[in-house]
Chain A
Amino acid sequence: DAGVIQSPRHEVTEMGQEVTLRCKPISGHNSLFWYRQTMMRGLELLIYFNNNVPIDDSGMPEDRFSAKMPNASFSTLKIQPSEPRDSAVYFCASSLRDRGSEQYFGPGTRLTVT
């Protein structure tokens, strides 16, 4: 299995621009998670989906952030407009929906907003 795939691996953009991060979960997994990692705040859960349905988006920092999962093999995290404080590494993870199932992480997208 190819594991969780994220693109792009690196993104540099200017403040105010729209940014779209993409994730392909492991085939057969039905839970998908978006995390943000920074030095100051560590690893934060932004949102997670079960069977393509958003279950908990309480970690989404503000309305500039949105996430979709149109099908079982694809998800996007969009930031519009982007700000310098959004600079971070964004991880996508997937798992089989079950009690205590481990999550498998992608390599991350390093976002820099100038």
Chain B
Amino acid sequence: AQSVTQPDIHITVSEGASLELRCNYSYGATPYLFWYVQSPGQGLQLLLKYFSGDTLVQGIKGFEAEFKRSQSSFNLRKPSVHWSDAAEYFCAVGISNFGNEKLTFGTGTRLTIIP
């Protein structure tokens, strides 16, 4: 079965600094990979997704992520964070069997932004 690991429970970054959130997955074939963001009291919003092709994917709000098959990673990056980026971030993996749309989510990384 597939699994997702987000090794950082909580990260604190200064406003304007760069950000990288780590995500490692376990799956035997090429996975579908997603990053979601959850603001307090809100549902999860999709930031970006990787299906195939270019391993560097661009998302909303200035985020990007890079799929590295050799490292089984899909890290999320942003060159300069804004105070509004403070939220919880979830990495998720989907399997490539048609008809099974289940996603497996990581435990999340809480991002705090300091002025």
A18 within 8 A of B: no
The interface stretch among B15-23, B66-74, B98-106 is B98-106
Contact of B34 among A43, A45, A99, A102 (CB under 8 A): A102
A98-111 interface bits toward B, Cβ cutoff 8 Å, 1 = contact, 0 = none: 11111111111000
> B32: which A residues are within 8 A, CB to CB?
99-100
How many of A's residues come within 8 Å of B, CB to CB? 23
A77 to chain B, nearest CB (A): 15
A48 within 8 A of B: yes
Q: Count A/B pairs, Cβ under 8 Å.
A: 54
With A42-B107, A99-B32, A100-B94 already in contact, the answer to whether A107 and B43 are too (CB < 8 A) is yes
Interface size class of B (residues with CB under 8 A): 20 to 34
B57 to chain A, nearest CB (A): 12
Q: Is the CB of A100 within 8 A of B49?
A: yes
Contact of A99 among B98, B103, B107 (CB under 8 A): B98
B6 to chain A, nearest CB (A): 10
User: Closest A-chain residue to B44, C-beta based?
Assistant: A105
Known: A98-B101, A106-B43, A108-B43. 12 other contacts (CB 8 A): A45-B103, A48-B101, A50-B99, A91-B44, A99-B98, A99-B101, A100-B49, A102-B46, A103-B103, A105-B45, A107-B41, A107-B43
